[in-house]
Structure 1
Amino acid sequence: MPSIFSKIISREIPADIVYEDDVCLAFRDIAPKAPVHILVIPKHEIVSLADLSESDEALMGRCVVAASKIAASEGLSGGYRLIVNCGEDGGQEVPHLHFHLMGGRKMTWPPG
């Protein structure tokens, strides 16, 4: 069964898309935890960080570079946080690898 993110990639479900290239897609989180909360996902479905292989190295690099570009376009010059949750105990809710790009306020530590 395709994840909700796969359905967003295929445009079966609408999303507020802020960035797209041939490898990644980024859209605003529907339940933001910061003034700017954008999810950056690879278009190729990978369940989690634990499922990465060496062949995914360039894909992951592209997603991180995309996140950096998006942060700049969102005006996050004061800083931001890029988070990846892995597995149920790590807080991952959707079984499709994704980065949370969060900013627009002072981030605290520990995050939770």
Structure 2
Amino acid sequence: MKLSALLAVTALCGLSLAQSSLLVLTPAAVVTCQDTLLAWGGGQAPFYVSIIPGGQVSAQPIESFPATSASNIDWLVNLAAGTSISIQVTDAAGWIAYSSPVTVQAGTSTSCL
């Protein structure tokens, strides 16, 4: 789901994404060695994005990305099938948001591992 779709759903539900609120989308599918869109809304740039073990908010990141001002990034999934992950996004104000846990699915290649 793209960020524009998230904003449309949010508006339909009567919710607002204030500057201080931060919301992370949970990807529908995460597949080994395929690109996945990591997206979020709200908050204040820059954003700091990490992949953490699924649902373990105090765990060390499995992977961290450079700071970005964008509201999404593409990630070539370089984790083995069966790995449970969550996406963590921290904004410039220190707000932290997480996706729901999702399990990496097997792809047709493992060349990126």
TM-score by length of 1: 0.34
Report which of the two has the higher share of strand: 2
By percentage of residues, which structure has more helix? 1
TM norm structure 2: 0.34
